[in-house]
A = this chain, B = another copy of it.
């Protein structure tokens, strides 16, 4: 029997330091490109992470996924690695990455994708400040 297909989102926050720095460029080029965001000792943000799963809502239980489980996936796959950390220095799965908000959204998607049933993960939204955010839905160029 056809069931409704719904999107369900869980929001969490974490605090981290970072600096924008492209390792393939020298310091002067980084300075020209990123200005104050490349300060060598770093700056930081209260990041907001929103993870959306997609799937059928069974008529009986009315539950797509247990939100407590989704919260634990997010903690185990992302939050415990990045909360109160320096993103350029402390996080093995971000090594060598320039931690822009869009590159982080992709990296967090990859961490979560394996831990969820296939096809369940729909969107990762990462907010860096109240004025900037990125959304990744697993799309890749041809």
List residues of chain A with CB under 8 Å of any chain B CB. Answer: 2-13, 15-18, 22, 24, 33, 35-37, 39, 41-46, 52, 56-57, 60-64, 66-68, 83-86, 89-90, 97-103, 105-106, 109, 129-137, 139-142
Contact = CB atoms under 8 A, between A and B. Distances in A.
**A contacts with B: majority SS:** mixed
Given A4-B136, A136-B6, A142-B2, A42 B44 contact: yes
Nearest to A36: B84
A123 to B, nearest CB: 9
Contact of A60 (B22, B105, B134, B141): B22
Given A67-B132, A98-B62, A98-B63, A85 B43 contact: yes
Contact of A46 (B60, B99, B129, B133): B129
Given A24-B60, A102-B57, A140 B41 contact: no
A34 to B, nearest CB: 8
18 contacts: A2-B141, A5-B140, A6-B102, A8-B133, A9-B132, A12-B131, A15-B43, A15-B44, A15-B129, A17-B42, A22-B63, A24-B61, A39-B86, A41-B42, A42-B42, A43-B83, A43-B86, A63-B98
